[in-house]
Chains A and B, each alone.
Chain A
Amino acid sequence: MTTRLFGEPVQRREDRRLITGQGLFLDDLGRDALAAAFVRSPHAHARVRDIDVSAALDVDGLVAIYTWEDLPERVRDPLPLLIPHPALTHGRTAYPLARDVVRHVGEPVVMVVARDRYLAEDAAALIEVDYEILKPVVGIEEAALGSHLVHDDVPGNVGAHLVQEVPSRAGLGAGRAIDAAPHTLAFRLDIERSASTPLEGRGVYARWDADDRSLRVYSSTQTSTSVRMAIAAKLGLPLPSVEVVAPDVGGGFGVKIVHPWPEEVLVPWAAMLLGREVKWAEDRREHFISSAHERGQVQHVRVGFDDEGHVLGLDVTILHDHGAYTPYGIIVPIITATQLLGPYRIGAYRVEFSSIYTNTVQVTPYRGAGRPQAVFCMERTMDRIAAHLGLDRAQVRAANFIQPDEFPYDQGMVFQDGRPLIYDSGDYPESLRMLKEMIGWDGFPAMKAEAAARGRRLGIGLGCYVEGTGVGPYEGGHVQVTSDGRVHVSTGLTSQGQGHETVFAQIAATELGVPLEKVSVVTGDTRRFGYAVGTFASRAAVMSGNAIALACRKVREKALRIAADALEADPRDLEIEDGLVRVVGNPEASVPLATVAVLSNPLRYAFDEEAARATQFSGATPMDRPPVPEGEEPGLEGRDYYSPVRSTFASGMHAAIVETDPDTAEIRILRYAVVHDCGRLINPMIVEGQIHGGVAQGVGGALYERMVYDGHGQLLNASFMDFLMPYATEVPAIETAHLETPSPLNPLGIKGAGEAGVIPVSAVIASAIEDAEGLPIDRMPISPAELYELRRAAGR
């Protein structure tokens, strides 16, 4: 079939638009809208005593100034706690504008609306807020002492505390299993904060139609359907009167799944109140101090193992820094706790985390969402075991792998979707074999020795992970074939550059037997599809991909039924090829899908020649039954949903060779290899692109990115000058290989790929630097200055 596009490296159709400046991002819309700006707290912890706006009133072009006092019921309430959990006993969320206490630098206090953003910022600069400074709580361990509180009513600063235990098969708890093991190790690991930092910040643009009493909101979001529900509820509008559209979105990486942001409530509210269009586009500094961060954890590990490196017991205690508020619940530490197990069968496991408040920006998922920390923990553990036993690091991992014949494999825990942590499929030994071959694992010691003879210091490292992808509850797809033969696909979840337009079109073209050019795809527009969850957790392809395939299958069945009537054939003898329904083996007997679409909608009125074929005197429908037969609907369209019983588990393994400079302590990645398994590939080129982007962010987390808070809770590097996102020059060439173990859980056999690249990078780089330097690496990221200090502390 020429239209079998599933699995082909089709070029991304959205790229021409995006790279020639024709994308329409939030700030490209609403050029004449009023602009909003915010006065944000300069203090990490303070009580707002008084707000004096008088000086700002003189600014020409000022339209409105709002403080919390000005907000009406519901709008003034704390923002929702999106994902409650029984262990989150002390969840707290912020007010859209500070009510009395501010709890991090950047918290919004006053909203200003003016003719343009320049004037709005001028007015904001003239507003004087009188603060009573309170003691800031900064640093996880400092906060965990509980001597000063972020929220008066949260003792010990502990928002949540959760223990999960999986006893060994013999019924032993982790503590006893470790004590009984031939070898034990205990150590501590640290992971710094980083953040999603999409190149486009957040943004909201709202238009209120006073005649229609309806609201249209554009938001740079990862979930337009849910933003819509939140806005309708907050503003007391009927849901059908609110439309939310995600335009082109310049990256999300997790931060834009949080909603509603204060601005997502306040901007539409102001637009309604003022009867004017209002827009707010976040600037870079705002993004650093007012959106969300991730990653920061301290982990204490105790492990027991035998002579071959089999892990008999593992006990991990995690302090997780969730910042000042918990709008997204405790998803991140839950993922860390559960995904820590990776591709391994562990004897007995106990994991405990405390999720701690600090006077810093809130923590919500960032690509990888707790997994980079988990993998850092487990893979550092594997390396320590290998070092302790004098065994090859790859061999220790292999000794612990779940074997291909053990799937489905039940890890005995509860995953982030509230469902059992059961791996559906995978082939970890084969992954490792491919990886070792690609990077030249077995030949490396010779390479290292040869480099050392020339004064160069090389090291190799590896890391393995398993990633639960495609979490529920559901997504839907709608597919319509119009009488011009075009196929219109829509799904509710949003796109932030992943290539959905391309892969969803590939799925539809393959299922319906039409050329790719005939298919158009719309995502994230509630006018087209109202039911959706959102784009996160590497779920778009699995969830919407399958829903669209199912919707296409409905359309295909219907098309064959109608065509069978027209061709006087049995539907089972028909196929669709290149947009033509035809009798197998008789190419003469065919009818275009376009005509089928015409016939699917019996008409009274003709407005063109095509339509005339479906009018009442055309003889298109038999006289002995209603024009629309019972059980049918007019039109060639279908809608279906995909709702999985549980997540599907992708996996991968990475390896790197690094060089460290003996004098300057610079760290360079010479090679980076990835073996990746996301089930059946829809488009290998797009999967590779996702991996490349993920690895780039992983390199950031391993070597460059951190959030430097001082003791006062000031973020010292809130700009791209000092927050070191790697450039193309810092990201190595990435070698990839694919393994395909299909998921048995969904019709297309696919697993998610969006986050994969970022997950093991810190673990891999730490492993390689440790190998090069012979010094234990137990915190990430690591800079040349830190490597230099480590060497000095070790007397080198």
Chain B
Amino acid sequence: MKPPPFDYHAPRDLGEALAVLAGAGAGGKVLAGGQSLIPLMNMRLAAPAHLVDINRLTGLATIEADAGGVRVGALARHAAVERSADAARAQPLLRSALRQVAHPVIRNRGTVVGSLVHADPAAELPAVLAVLGGSVRLARHGGGQRDVPAGEFFTGPLESALRPGELAVSAFFPALPPRAGTAFREVARRHGDYAMAGAAAVVVLDEDLRIVSARVACVSAGPVPVTIDVSQVCDRRPAASADWAAVAAAVRDRVDPEADIHATADYRRHLTGVLAGRALRAAAREAAGDGRDAGEAGEPSDG
């Protein structure tokens, strides 16, 4: 479990990094937190010819939050974003999702942007970006920048719209409209593992506290985060009288997850429905002003 030979680059600023990446072309890989890339290299499943370590680009370790949303720089660690009060205020879903990402030591090194580029359909943050309709900002040497919306960014399992030579410099998570709530629910085999199923939910109410929009993005339910709009099933009802069982069933019927060694496809589908239902109900309750979603404690049974 040692990686094959590679050239190591440690650029000191963004311009140098982009130049090195441009030179490396398809043989280049960015090293951010290394929590996904290094294991892949050690198992010789990835063999980049050039490793471009961006850890000296401290200017990218930014978390900018305002009324519009949260922009997370490429070197902002999971742990820093998780602890940022400003980020949690502007977009609470980030913190609730991040608490389910791996374990504290991994969150101390892993980056939010790295997690998005890695594009694992079992990861939490791609689902968060998808359900919020966020975007990723990509830069290239001499070529300026482009913002890719979440819906186009995730192109397959471990595949994103990032092209050779590009560096993801930041990601943007838009803030919520008024009377909106969010929640994240997942079930993993062990605490901190990638989830067997999970759901990031956003619910928006009108002035009479009736549900006008309800969306989930499901984790481990397909090759990319699976975003499902269940506003219609919620039928403009108030949170308390919505038919959550029907909502869960609607989600369940619209996902087609695969089996793996940890879960059958049927169980995954069932679980996705249950968790989407729970997440949407919690998000609706939060939107109605019943306080911030406190997680799963005392979760009622959905029957």
Contacts and interface: CB of A to CB of B under 8 A. Distances in A.
The yes or no verdict on A and B being binding partners is yes
Interface of A: 117-118, 121-122, 125, 283-285, 455, 662-666, 704, 708, 716-717, 719, 721-722, 724, 726-727, 729-730, 783-785, 788-789, 792
Contacts of B187: 664, 666, 784
A439 B29 CA distance: 55
Interface stretch (B8-16, B213-221, B256-264): B256-264
A125 B266 contact: no
B142 interface: no
B242 to A, nearest CB: 17
Contacts, number: 75
Contacts of A792: 266
Contacts of A284: 1
Contacts of B275: 664
B190 A704 contact: yes
A197 to B, nearest CB: 14
A87 B5 CA distance: 51
Interface of B: 1-5, 39, 43-44, 187, 189-193, 196, 261-264, 266-268, 270-271, 274-275, 300-303
B261 A708 contact: yes
Most A CB contacts (10 A, CB to CB) among B2, B4, B264 go to: B2
A785 B189 CA distance: 10
Given A118-B2, A662-B301, A784-B267, A724 B190 contact: yes
Given A122-B4, A285-B1, A785-B262, A729 B271 contact: no
A125 B192 contact: no
B239 to A, nearest CB: 19
Contacts of A726: 190
A716 B4 CA distance: 23
B190 A783 contact: no
Interface majority SS (helix, strand, loop, mixed), chain B: loop
16 contacts: A122-B5, A283-B1, A663-B303, A665-B267, A721-B39, A724-B193, A726-B190, A727-B190, A729-B190, A729-B192, A730-B190, A730-B191, A784-B187, A784-B196, A785-B263, A788-B270
Nearest to B274: A663
Contacts of B262: 722, 724, 783, 785
B44 to A, nearest CB: 7
Contacts of B44: 125
Contacts of A716: 261
Contacts of A717: 261
A736 to B, nearest CB: 24
Contacts of B271: 664, 784, 788
A722 B192 contact: no
Nearest to B265: A785
Nearest to A118: B2
Contact of A727 (B191, B261, B300): B191
Contact of B300 (A455, A708, A729, A789): A455
B301 A455 contact: yes
Contacts of A663: 274, 301-303
B300 A788 contact: no
Given A285-B1, A666-B187, A716-B261, 11 more contacts: A122-B4, A125-B4, A664-B187, A704-B190, A708-B261, A726-B190, A730-B191, A784-B189, A784-B263, A785-B268, A788-B266
Contacts of A665: 267
B267 A789 contact: yes
Contacts of B3: 118
Contacts of A121: 1-2, 4
Closest 5 CB pairs of A and B: A729-B191, A785-B267, A785-B263, A283-B1, A455-B301
Nearest to A35: B2
Nearest to A283: B1
A722 B267 contact: no
Contacts of B268: 785
B274 A664 contact: yes
B278 to A, nearest CB: 8
Nearest to A37: B2
A729 B264 CA distance: 24
A468 to B, nearest CB: 33
Nearest to B270: A788
A452 to B, nearest CB: 11
Given A121-B2, A455-B301, A785 B264 contact: yes
A285 to B, nearest CB: 6
A104 B44 CA distance: 21
A35 to B, nearest CB: 9
Contact of A724 (B5, B189, B274): B189
A783 B302 contact: no
B264 A789 contact: yes
Given A122-B4, A730-B191, A722 B301 contact: no
Contacts of B2: 117-118, 121
Nearest to A725: B190
Most B CB contacts (10 A, CB to CB) among A122, A284, A664 go to: A664
Most B CB contacts (10 A, CB to CB) among A118, A122, A284, A663 go to: A663
